Structure 1
Amino acid sequence: MKGNTISDPLFQKKALFLSQIAVFLILNACTLFETTGSYTEPLPQVQGIENLFNVPGQIVTDSQIHSIQFHRGGNSSNAPIIELNSNQRLNLLFEVLQFESRQFSVHISHHNPDWSRSSIGRESYIDGLFTVYMDAGRVSSVRQPQYRQYGFEFPNDDLRILKSGNYMLSVEDADTGYLVMALPFFVTENQGSITSSVEQLITPRQNLRSTHRPVSRYRLPDFVDQPQFDLEFYFVQNRFWGRSEKASELDFSSPEEVHYEMDRNSPFIGDYEFLELNLSDLTQRNPQVLEFIPAEVPPKVILFDDVSGFSASGRLTGAGNFGRPVMSLNAQYANAQFTFDANLNPDEDLEIYLTGDFNNWAIQSANRLIYNEESDRWHTSKILKEGMYRYKYVVMENSRVDDLFFDDLFTNTRQEYHTFVYMRDSREFYYRLLQFNHFFSN
């Protein structure tokens, strides 16, 4: 991705901070940093890798932040997409495993389709305050551990959005100025209309996997005069915004619509799999829980083994980007212990990581699996709240994520898709997001 030069002092400060973090991140560091006072040191991220799930700049750096929810209001399964100049709102919720109140500030930035920073100034896309402060949060009823829940809803009277396009929501610790999370969202103009479908390609197969080729038709709004020059089209599978694919096969023969689709040589995997974790019950009454140890803080939950090639969850539908933790202040956290029978020689030059909607689909050093010779299993842990989650075990090889390495073959899985239509604004020099569509494979 090509990035623009950023002259904004606030963004220079964040860039300097992130560069300082990178110096201290060690790939093999598998433990969380300690909490000091009211600020928690950043959670290590694995650097310099390809095929990530997230967009450039999307990150959660604070190890004490959990149970993030970021979606269009009304349903936690909604994608973070709203219509410009409408009553639709985006809701951000997250929890910090600390009793003490912290002050967080929020601001947004406008981006191009490739998530490089757009060239327009803030005053062009924001009406109101450039920085807004969140409330003091609400304290949980449970202890061991006790936590505080923070929420923010926008656009609002203090923060109004004037342009469509790709955006990044950034949350900082107001006392230190450190960035604690950055999450992408989208603002569309609802101009024109899209109809979409998915072609399933039985042959040829890609590495013995079935493949999908989404196709769409975009009915043009009246103001688009030169679609072949002004429009760009993208597809995204399973809300992995960092893996958006630009449509390369375009048909402009009709004056009223554009037919666009994926390159036949670069389709999506049609049987992409997730593992499902149901932690609605932390005790051994839960069929996924082998042992529950309530005396520890947080309580320890030892899960039954996952086995490579035998754990697929079938036809899961879209469950949101961040899972479905129970957002009640009565719900409890636990230290979930994952055990994986990888059927893999530990001497091979491969690294295995746990990733899922519970950690923003990030590749983090803290969630790298460690081989135990006595049990002949791979182990890691993750602090999770009661709820429902999707996750995967992925392999890192030659600085590239292989998220298909442990998948079952020929599993019948339903895939979720989004398509986006952008227009280059030649007068104001930014990308407008004219329309999107949300659809599923059969």
Structure 2
Amino acid sequence: MLRSVIFCSLFIFIRFFDFQSIEASEPDTIYSNTIKSVLFTRSGNLLSYPVIDLNNGEKATLQFDLLNEQEKTFYYILVHCNMYWERDSLQPIEYIDGFEVNRIKNQSASILSILPYIHYTLPIPNDDIRLKISGNYLLCIYEDEEKTKPVMQKRLFVCETKSEIQATARRATLPVYADTKQEIDAEVTLYERKVNDPENELRLLIIQNFRPDMYVEVKPKFIRGNIISYNHEEGNLFNGGNEFRHFNSKNLRVPLENIDLIDYQAPYYHFLLKPESDRTFTGYTYGQDINGKYYIDADLRNSPALMADYVYVHFTLPYDVPLIDGTVHILGAMSNWKCNEKNQMTYDFETKAYIGSMLLKQGYYNYHFALRDKLTGAIDTGFFEGNSYQTENDYVLLLYERVSGALYDRLIGRAVVNTIKPL
């Protein structure tokens, strides 16, 4: 039997939201506890990022579940933002074709699941809304057409390909960083014209594993005609981290990877993971992962999106003493890369371990343990995971153009580079 079972009450957290002052630091937010399994990817690839091309027909697809037996009607809008996710001065008619507010039309009830849910799917663009310009778009979901009951907001990147980005991810050049950090170098070729003032008009953002708080903004090192180099030894460095921990909950009967015990306590299945360990000083060990992401899967179910069950997953991190300067969290795409009460662990003095539980849909999941500083709110995965230059990571590169006097930031280049394998 499980020593501790955490049952999460399901309620909707409603907050009035003024989109005249979008939180630049929190572009990805889920406001409701009854909204689960939110995936926003390039259409056709569940492990991709929501970065699409403006002109070649690419789409992004939002999927999520409402934990409820009855359908609800949800509405959505797109808000155009600058590169820092602050709303710009454009009106909807300037960046979209179609109505400003639209209804999500594709939803289906779960089939034979213990916990009933409604599965929603929304492609962008679609027949109701088309995108006219490049840049950052905030996809905002509401319970009402008047936009007073926000449900979530998710980032969408729309690129007009005006450049080519050649990038490499490798061990940091400077010896002081060589063991723990990774260096991302890039060379940009502009297709159409020279930029008069590239240091002020171009901004290159590099994001590690698409985690919203893990990015750097890089300035050019030198310019040669229409070729711009971002080859630095500092300023483009990231902590390497460690390979993600993982578990597989697709089978309700047979424990798979890193599952110690499956226990049914009506009406839920409970998956007790094998106790993990602090990896700060254990050195690097390679293990294949999907860089913090997850995907839904269920054995013997031909439609996991509608037939997978929700189960409680229980995590254990042995630790000799409780930490007083921070809180411990389970971090990954499954937690929306946030550290909050939903994924916070508690210290159990009897077992001398941090324990935590999350209600998750069956599938394959990656995660890290993270320490959140009580004073600053800073999130540190290295505290439990360590940092190594050898770790396999994705890096998303986004090139923005900010011309003086322009009304919005254009996204004119994109690339994804991996430290080990070509993408």
Corresponding residue for residue 342 of structure 1: 319
User: Under a length normalisation based on structure 2, what TM-score does the superposition of the two structures give?
Assistant: 0.86
The 5-angstrom pairing of residues 366-405 of structure 1 reads 366-397=342-373, 398-399=375-376, 400-405=378-383
Corresponding residue for residue 18 of structure 2: none
**In structure 2, distance between residues paired with 1:384 and 1:312:** 29
Shift of 1:348: 3.1
* RMSD of aligned Cα (Å): 2.6
Q: Deviations over 1:420-442 (max 9, x none)?
A: 11112445421100011111113
- Alignment check: 8 A CA contact 1:271 1:410 kept: yes
Greater displacement, 324-333 / 380-389? 324-333
- Alignment check: 8 A CA contact 1:197 1:215 kept: yes
Q: Deviations over 1:350-399 (max 9, x none)?
A: 31111221121111112211111111111111011111111111112222
Corresponding residue for residue 207 of structure 2: 236
Matched, 1:286 2:260: no
- Alignment check: 8 A CA contact 1:55 1:243 kept: no
Q: Deviations over 1:394-420 (max 9, x none)?
A: 112222222210014548421111111
**In structure 2, distance between residues paired with 1:86 and 1:202:** 38
Relative to 1, partners in 2 of residues 1:284 and 1:275: Cα closer, same or farther, differing over 3 Å?
same
Matched, 1:264 2:234: yes
SS at match of 1:328: helix
**In structure 1, distance between residues paired with 2:99 and 2:215:** 31
Greater displacement, 166-175 / 388-397? 166-175
Shift of 1:227: 4.4
Corresponding residue for residue 49 of structure 1: none
Corresponding residue for residue 20 of structure 2: none
Corresponding residue for residue 58 of structure 2: 88
- Alignment check: 8 A CA contact 2:38 2:63 kept: yes
Shift of 1:97: 1.6
Shift of 1:109: 0.7
User: Under a length normalisation based on structure 1, what TM-score does the superposition of the two structures give?
Assistant: 0.82
Relative to 1, partners in 2 of residues 1:312 and 1:129: Cα closer, same or farther, differing over 3 Å?
farther
Matched, 1:41 2:17: no
- Alignment check: 8 A CA contact 2:242 2:387 kept: no
Relative to 1, partners in 2 of residues 1:425 and 1:249: Cα closer, same or farther, differing over 3 Å?
closer
Corresponding residue for residue 10 of structure 1: none
* Amino acid paired to 1:305: P
Q: Deviations over 1:204-226 (max 9, x none)?
A: 344x8421111111111223441
Q: 2:135 aligns with which of 143, 154, 165?
A: 165
Shift of 1:295: 3.4
Relative to 1, partners in 2 of residues 1:181 and 1:78: Cα closer, same or farther, differing over 3 Å?
same
- Alignment check: 8 A CA contact 1:202 1:211 kept: no
Corresponding residue for residue 19 of structure 2: none
Q: 1:156 aligns with which of 126, 133, 139?
A: 126
* Amino acid paired to 2:361: K
Shift of 1:308: 1.1
**In structure 1, distance between residues paired with 2:362 and 2:105:** 24
Relative to 1, partners in 2 of residues 1:242 and 1:118: Cα closer, same or farther, differing over 3 Å?
farther
Corresponding residue for residue 151 of structure 2: 180
Corresponding residue for residue 434 of structure 1: 412
**In structure 1, distance between residues paired with 2:112 and 2:58:** 33
SS at match of 2:334: helix
- Alignment check: 8 A CA contact 1:106 1:133 kept: yes
Q: Deviations over 1:109-161 (max 9, x none)?
A: 11111111112222111111111101262111123211110111121221111
Shift of 1:286: 2.1
* Amino acid paired to 2:316: T
- Alignment check: 8 A CA contact 2:75 2:144 kept: yes
The percent identity for this pair of structures is 22
**In structure 1, distance between residues paired with 2:220 and 2:163:** 20
**In structure 1, distance between residues paired with 2:41 and 2:323:** 42
Residue segments in structure 1 that go unaligned for 5+ positions in a row: 1-29, 44-53
Q: 1:333 aligns with which of 310, 330, 341?
A: 310
**In structure 2, distance between residues paired with 1:289 and 1:149:** 27
Shift of 1:100: 0.7
Greater displacement, 355-364 / 411-420? 411-420
* Amino acid paired to 1:401: I
